A and B are shown apart, each in its own frame.
Chain A
Amino acid sequence: AQSVTQLGSHVSVSEGALVLLRCNYSSSVPPYLFWYVQYPNKGLQLLLKYTSAATLVKGINGFEAEFKKSETSFHLTKPSAHMSDAAEYFCAVSDQLTGGGNKLTFGTGTQLKVEL
């Protein structure tokens, strides 16, 4: 089964600083990978997705992620953090092996705190 591991359940950055949220995947075949964001008391919102096209994926709100097969990683970055980025971020992998495109396996999440 495919899985993702998010390193660091809590990350704190200063406003204007680089945001780096880490995600490593486990899969025997190239997966589809996603980053979702969840604001308090809200559902999840798709930030970006990797579907085996370009390895550098740009998403909404200035976020991007790079798929690195050699490192089995899909880390999320943003050059300059904003207070409004404070939220919980989830990495997810799609189970394409058994045709389960919408059956996502999520990581445990990383709570991002942005300080003044």
Chain B
Amino acid sequence: KAGVTQTPRYLIKTRGQQVTLSCSPISGHRSVSWYQQTPGQGLQFLFEYFSETQRNKGNFPGRFSGRQFSNSRSEMNVSTLELGDSALYLCASSLTSQVGELFFGEGSRLTVL
């Protein structure tokens, strides 16, 4: 069974640009969550989607947004990039939105110059 796939794995952007990251969950999983990992702030929850609906949102500015498609694939978008947005963005999928048993992808490493 294929795991969680995130694309692209690495990308470099400049301040002010926008970026879209993609996540394909494990087949059959309907929940997709996104986390930001940085050396300073650690792992922080961005948002969760279940059956195309946003169920939870973390404490991030409106520049961070996401969506989920009918096939459970998810994208997250960051607009007007800032240097502080440089991070590893991790996507995790789960069968349901309960219990928190998450299966993580290897992440998309974003560098903002």
Which residues of A are in contact with B by a Cβ distance under 8 Å?
32, 34, 36, 41-46, 49, 51, 90, 92, 94, 98-109
Contacts and interface: CB of A to CB of B under 8 A. Distances in A.
Given A43-B90, A90-B43, A102 B97 contact: yes
Nearest to A106: B43
A45 B33 contact: no
A48 to B, nearest CB: 10
A105 B3 CA distance: 23
What range describes how many residues of B lie at the interface? Answer: 20 to 34
Contacts of B43: 90, 92, 104, 106, 109
Contact of A44 (B45, B96, B98, B104): B104
Given A92-B100, A101-B100, A102-B33, 15 more contacts: A32-B99, A43-B90, A46-B102, A46-B103, A49-B100, A101-B96, A102-B56, A102-B102, A104-B43, A104-B100, A105-B45, A106-B42, A106-B44, A107-B42, A109-B43
Contacts of B107: 43
Contacts of B82: none
Interface in B73-112: 90, 92, 94, 96-107
Interface of B: 4, 31, 33, 35, 42-45, 48, 55-56, 58, 90, 92, 94, 96-107
Given A100-B55, A102-B94, A104-B45, A94 B99 contact: yes
B22 to A, nearest CB: 15
A32 B104 contact: no
Contacts of B56: 98, 100, 102-103
